[in-house]
Structure 1
Amino acid sequence: MTDKKIWDKANQWNEELELLKSIINTTNLIETTKWGTSVYTHNNKNIIGIGGFKSYFGLWFFNGVFLKDEYNLLINAQEGTTKSLRQMRFQSKADINEKIILEYLTEAIKVEENGLSIKPQKKEQLVSAFLQNEFKSDLNLKIAFEKLSPYKQREFIEYIETAKQEKTKLSRFEKIKPMILANIGLNDKYR
């Protein structure tokens, strides 16, 4: 069995993160590694993640929006973007209260057992007049584009449509045309 990794971007919270892990390990949650860090699941559903950053370390509750948050400890890290994830942040070991963390964990497990979750909203279909025009003159490109997953198609459309000037659209198009023909997504090298 391989060692589970802990996401510690600043590489300064090892002792604190191990303490959080020891608290979580008193529950029946199953530890797995996702997104390069320890994530704990119940019935194969993500309950809580753990990680360290530059100025804090913490826990994130995947369906934290449904928790009562009696102690007012949970925050939405990206207001307006993040729908259900909530973080519990700490600056030192002294901030960690095992009893309170276990209360939140117990409630988070119940939330999962009750099936509470926010389903991701489908994004509206994007259309690029620029790409549609290019497809008229290159049928092979159109066929190759249609073979891409909707996610990859959207990446290419956004890439073209976020260009403000026509010459930028043209240079971006020249960059992505061979990628589309080779069935390579815009950001595949990062996945």
Structure 2
Amino acid sequence: MKKATTVDEYIDSKTEWIKELVLLRSILQKTELVECIKWGAPTYTIANKNVVGIGAFKSYVGIWFFNGALLSDPVKKLHNAQEGKTQAMRQLRFASINEIDEKMLLTYLNEAIENQKAGKQVKVNKRNDLEIPELLTEKLKGDLALNDSFKSLSPYKQKEYILHIAEAKREATKIKRLEKIVPMIKSGIGLHDKYRNC
């Protein structure tokens, strides 16, 4: 299935949660956030910084706050999507359109917007134990231009490439992935840059 390039396409691609997504979008459009698509999902930004996103899942429709751990959470509704993994992001989940309270949601949104304007960010505990797979290490050692390009990538882009190789189960898959990413690394492109279109 083709990834959505607009919020309308994203909503049109759904068979469920359409009314809820339309309502969430209409509330978000009452703020100063700028709407775009990132990673195939509706994302809302200020000065090109991610503030919130919306999405439809199997049992709920949700809005996630990229720095949600900073929110005061006045009605104690925020969820950590992946306890133990996710440090900054938090979600509000709605199982029906009746659960979406515009006034409550705007309270959370306005706080998130003000936090972003103030430059507040969750201090994420960086995992420095991420080991570069041997296959990638050998390739970097044998190609100085590739090694320089890899080192010049931002840490999150390096991590994307490391995980892309490390998470492959079969050696043949690791080799195939490595062949694909070498020209991307040399070009300074992140693995998922094509999904960051705003």
Same fold per superposition (TM over 0.5)? yes
Partner of 2:128: 123
CA shift digits 1:20-43 (9 cap, x unpaired): 111111111111111112111122
Structure number with the bigger relative contact order (C-alpha 8 A, sep ≥ 6) is: 2
CA shift digits 1:88-142 (9 cap, x unpaired): 000001101000000001111111122111355263462566877xx5xxx9982
| Contact preservation (8 Å) 2:71, 2:112 | yes
What TM-score comes out, normalization by structure 2 length?
A: 0.70
CA shift digits 1:13-64 (9 cap, x unpaired): 1111101111111111111111112111122211110110110001001111
Q: Distance in 1 between matches of 2:57 and 2:183?
A: 36
Residue of structure 1 aligned with 2:24, choices 11, 15, 20:
20
| Contact preservation (8 Å) 1:5, 1:37 | no
Q: Distance in 1 between matches of 2:39 and 2:88?
A: 18
Identical aligned residues as a percent: 34
| Contact preservation (8 Å) 1:39, 1:49 | yes
After superposition, residues 149-168 of structure 1 pair within 5 angstroms as 149=150, 151=158, 154-155=162-163, 158=166
What TM-score comes out, normalization by structure 1 length?
A: 0.72
Matched letter for residue 103 of structure 1:
T
Matched letter for residue 4 of structure 1:
V
Q: Distance in 1 between matches of 2:19 and 2:9?
A: 11
Superposition CA RMSD, Å: 3.7
Q: Distance in 2 between matches of 1:78 and 1:178?
A: 29
In structure 2, the CA distance between the partners of 1:180 and 1:112, relative to structure 1 (3 Å rule), is: closer
Q: Secondary structure at the match of 1:49?
A: strand
Q: Distance in 2 between matches of 1:36 and 1:57?
A: 15
After superposition, residues 32-71 of structure 1 pair within 5 angstroms as 32-71=36-75
In structure 2, the CA distance between the partners of 1:172 and 1:38, relative to structure 1 (3 Å rule), is: closer
Matched letter for residue 142 of structure 2:
K
| Contact preservation (8 Å) 1:31, 1:39 | yes
Partner of 2:108: 104
Partner of 1:146: 147
Q: Distance in 1 between matches of 2:83 and 2:179?
A: 34
Bigger Rg, which one? 1
CA shift digits 1:68-104 (9 cap, x unpaired): 0010110000011111110000000110100000000
Q: Secondary structure at the match of 2:109?
A: helix
Q: Distance in 2 between matches of 1:101 and 1:29?
A: 14
